[in-house]
A and B are shown apart, each in its own frame.
Chain A
Amino acid sequence: MLLRFLLTLQGLGAFALITLGVMITRFRAARAVIRPLVFAEISRAGLRLLPLFLFMAVALGLVVIGQTVSWLTRVGAINFLGTVMVVVVVRELGPLVTALLVVARVGTANVIELGTARATGEVEALEALGIDPVHYLVVPRVLGMALGVYALTVYLILGALASGYLWAFVQDVPLLPGDYLRQLAGALSGLDFVLLAVKTFAFGAIIALVTCYHGLAQPLRLEEISRATVAAVAQSVVACVLLDALFIILYLAT
């Protein structure tokens, strides 16, 4: 069990390094092919998920504010609504919920697509044509998903903050929009913006790397793809949560 975990970790690390190497050495190569693929991936891991994220934003605002208001009014601490939203939504739930949804919607598709490409010999065909499979299949996914997760997190957070106010308003909390915004601004620091960007880019890249690794790194047969997908989803989630824990430590340390 431990050995298998270490082997997977080693494989993933090597795969990440190879991808990084290809990204650097082939930064300018075949841009006319790779750039549209990156845009397509941003669309898939970002733009097309917007309706789902709008729904999630409204739900997240309701969950956090609904629960918080009922508790904070009891202790008379309604002035901390903005702070709660920043701590819970901006720092924690926003990025994590985005990452989990992207794993579910796009990460699974990644494993299946690449696993099928591997099983049906498309990857060999790329190699036979002198096309680096990592450059053609993995690099656009890593870049696209990193940007996609970042953009979606920003939208989710904005949506949740707006819907949070809406739910507070519905619950008759005496809070003016200006005061709410002031509370938010007061709770946010410059570091929040930097860490949010770094964290979400890292989430996107990790999801892409883990799912591509499981689809691509070992020779698969068609019947093995479902098993690979299950493993990739589990590992993506664990990796994102572990990374999130690392960021919590960072927050606490600063």
Chain B
Amino acid sequence: MTPPLPAPDEVPALEMINVAVGALHDPAIRVAENINWTVRPGDYWVIAGLHGAGKSDFLRLAGGVMPPQQGQYRFFGEPMPIFEDARLPTRLRLGLVFDGGQLFNHLTLAENVALPLRYHRNLGHAEAAAAAAELLAGLELEPWAHRLPGAVGYGWRKRAGLARALALQPEVLLVDNPLGGVDPRQVHWWLAFLDQLSRGHPLLRGRPVTLVVTAADFPRWQGHARQFALLRDRRLRVLGGWGEVAAAREDAVRELLTKETQTG
């Protein structure tokens, strides 16, 4: 007798089995390996690691931009990465926010945010403008809406990257190093906004978003994220909740708990 299939709500949002991650700019390099990791819908993960630990490459793999070197990675039960049109609707349930935004430099912030809507719904400039304007307003980006990314500060570019990823109303959002290189006021904004996304934000019709965030330290995520993991020495170590992180005795975790690392 075959075992019963899990109920739809039991399908993990992200599931990695024995996955190895390559570097985006040099596929021959292995950044991490033997990753076994499951993200359930509604989770709010922080994956911390020092610079160069491979967080960005790991998130790119999770975001479906590059395939695993080995192992299996499934997103809501579908093998990733997805490039075929037939499985595109599954792919679009996932949003990826790059460190620094990685906006399209020849498009204004408003055009950047509108592009995914226009492409996937076949809309003209005017038809997508209202939805884009709502997102820009929701993220306090209106004053820069009609500027090119090069004319806007780093923190705002990053925020526009978030607005663009939210345009298609994703259910799972991966955010690369949101607190890196931004000022304290923006740090506060990001933490509050991500919390709201996790609980359900009006911009996404109140539907809670599953979050995976990378970070250079742990302390600022206390009281925000619910699951924590550490990326170090080419391994992903799942630590558990904040209690386990705070109680950890080993140096690798303590190092990311000290105040000195809280510069992002």
Contacts and interface: CB of A to CB of B under 8 A. Distances in A.
B119 A129 contact: yes
B65 A129 contact: no
Contacts of A124: 24, 60, 65, 98, 102
Interface of A: 25-26, 29-33, 113, 116-117, 120-122, 124-132, 136, 219, 221
Given A122-B102, A219-B24, A130 B116 contact: yes
B98 A121 contact: yes
A31 to B, nearest CB: 6
B119 A120 contact: no
A31 B123 CA distance: 8
A135 to B, nearest CB: 9
13 contacts: A32-B123, A33-B118, A113-B106, A117-B104, A121-B98, A122-B105, A124-B60, A125-B98, A125-B103, A128-B65, A129-B116, A129-B119, A129-B165
Interface of B: 24-25, 60, 63-65, 83, 85, 88, 91-92, 95-96, 98, 102-106, 115-116, 118-120, 122-124, 127, 161, 164-165, 168
B102 A121 contact: yes
A128 B63 contact: yes
B102 A125 contact: yes
Given A25-B85, A125-B98, A127-B64, 7 more contacts: A32-B123, A122-B105, A124-B65, A125-B102, A125-B164, A129-B119, A130-B91
A117 B65 CA distance: 15
A131 B119 contact: yes
Nearest to A132: B83
Contact of A129 (B25, B105, B122, B164): B164
B180 to A, nearest CB: 15
Instruction: Pick the 7 closest A-B CB pairs, nearest first.
Output: A121-B102, A128-B96, A125-B102, A129-B116, A30-B119, A32-B124, A32-B122
A127 B119 contact: no
A153 B103 CA distance: 37
With most chain A CB atoms within 10 A of its CB, the pick from B106, B122, B164 is B122
A253 B85 CA distance: 45
A129 B123 CA distance: 16
- Interface residues of A: mostly helix, strand, loop or mixed? helix
A126 B116 CA distance: 9
B28 to A, nearest CB: 12
A130 B92 contact: yes
A33 B122 contact: yes
A122 B96 CA distance: 13
B118 A30 contact: yes
B116 A120 contact: no
A5 B105 CA distance: 33
A32 B161 CA distance: 23
B120 A30 contact: yes
Contacts of A125: 98, 102-104, 161, 164
A219 B26 CA distance: 9
Nearest to B124: A32
A131 B83 CA distance: 9
Contacts of B104: 117, 122, 125-126
A184 B113 CA distance: 55
